[in-house]
Amino acid sequence: MEHDLCESEPQDKPENPTSKPTKSIETNKTPVQVKKKPIDYSQYRAHFLGVPIEKIKATFQATTQFATNVMAGNKILQTIKSPWPANNVRRCNEPVATDTIKAQVPAVDDGSAMAQLFIGRKSLVSDAYGVKTDAAFVNTLEDNIRQRGAMDKLISDGAQAELSDRAKDVLCALCIDDWHSEAHYQHQNFAEHRWRHIKKNVEWLMNLRNCPPEAWLLALQCVCGIMNDTAEKSLGNRPPLQILEGHSIDISILLYFLFWSIVYVSRVDDKDYHRQIGSKKSSLVCERMVGFAWNVRHGLTYKVLTDDTQRIICRSRLRLASDAENQVEEARCMQPRKGRFFLDSKHDFDDPSTTLPTLKAFDCPFVNDDDNKSSSAPTINSPPNRGVNGEEDRGTNAPPNKGSHPEVETLDE
């Protein structure tokens, strides 16, 4: 007797009276086809003040129409959440690249050992936020969207925190596309390219001003603020912030104090000081200028670091310390340091054998030798003009200028 291998013989199965009959899942016999319905632009003429249909069609092509279900039904209910969150935020109209930066010591007053960097792909606007864990990436993403606007696309290197479900919920709610580089090809992330210039400037500033390593986050945020207001040749000699926001930028806040300068601010009232005459405490407190408070009071408010409590406070009324104090401070900064402080990307941070490029303490990446010939000698409070000849010579020492700094006698340690 021959048997067909494709057909199985029927077998009698015992019936269970307690079991429920199973329902078979029926699939669609024919695939569902979605046809795009053409838009009748003539019915929208009354909404656009009766303009021609061609103008309405051009308006639809140049804009988005994401919001749906705007009209209420038979029963008008109160809405608790926005029906379309993407309409509640402004757009920055450019892709934004992000990367995580790690430091060897926690930041002063903040305690963060990492920073999240956001860089505009077209405008080159840079923002840095201190983070303590990888899960805080979503919070920095929301802060950047709130501050600069929702980006068109988020570019990353494929880290787990940047591809988490919570991050995707934020991107989907605001109609933000995402893109990440291939594994072990983090150089495809645009943030890595811009981070090279930011890292050089941060290391140069901290080595020049002889800052402690704990001030790395303040120096990083200060460098990003200065670079956002500095004209770039690739942008047509316009500042990145002007490209992003579309209006002229006022740089008065950059012209009065240097990073880590000694300043004095008014002492606030406490249990030992009530502004009375003959108080044991002085009415002024010695501080350090460590950055710019962009979102506090008016446009000339600074961040200062208290010497006694090591806390950041925002003050708009500052007084630069006496020339003798700042001259002694500059002379102390001029002394060579045995140890240098470096910021690492998270990719070379895990590799102990990676050798990072170094910069000499007085090689300013902003200054050229041509500028030294046409400009006068620098003042006491300005950094020394120790320039470089070009991109290929960046990182090499230029001949020292003996008249650029006053001679100050300091006590030997």
For 218-243, how does the pLDDT look when each residue is reduced to its tens digit (9 = 90+)? 999 999 999 999 999 999 999 999 99
Bridge partners (DSSP) listed for residue 153: 177
Q: Which of 150, 191, 227, 176 lies closest to 346 in space, CA to CA? A: 191
Check residue 314 and give its pLDDT.
Answer: 93
Check residue 380 and give its pLDDT.
Answer: 46
Task: Pick one of 3.40.1280.10, 3.30.70.60, 3.30.420.10, 3.40.50.970 as the CATH number of 96-245.
Answer: 3.30.420.10
Residue ranges of the chain with pLDDT lower than 70? 1-29, 68-70, 269-271, 274-276, 278, 326-413
**What type of residue is 251?**
I
Element at 55 (helix H, strand E): helix 53-62
Cα end-to-end span (Å), the chain: 107
**In 10 A of CB 11, how many CB atoms?**
5
Rounded to an integer, what distance in angstroms lies between the CA atom of residue 405 and that of residue 397? 17
- Contact between 160 and 90 under an 8 Å Cβ cutoff? The reply is no
Segments making up each domain of the chain, as ranges:
96-245, 262-320
Bridge partners (DSSP) listed for residue 126: 119
Check residue 341 and give its pLDDT.
Answer: 54
Angle between helix axes 137-148 and 165-173 (nearest 10 degrees) is 20
Rounded to an integer, what distance in angstroms lies between the CA atom of residue 354 and that of residue 350? 9
pTM: 0.68
Check residue 206 and give its pLDDT.
Answer: 93
Check residue 108 and give its pLDDT.
Answer: 94
Q: Which of 202, 308, 195, 300 lies closest to 252 in space, CA to CA? A: 300
Backbone CA torsion sign across 381, 385, 386, 391:
positive
Rounded to an integer, what distance in angstroms lies between the CA atom of residue 244 and that of residue 120? 9
**In 10 A of CB 384, how many CB atoms?**
18
Collapsed DSSP state (helix, strand, coil) of residue 288: strand
- DSSP structural state of residue 21: P
Rounded to an integer, what distance in angstroms lies between the CA atom of residue 344 and that of residue 395? 18
Check residue 69 and give its pLDDT.
Answer: 67
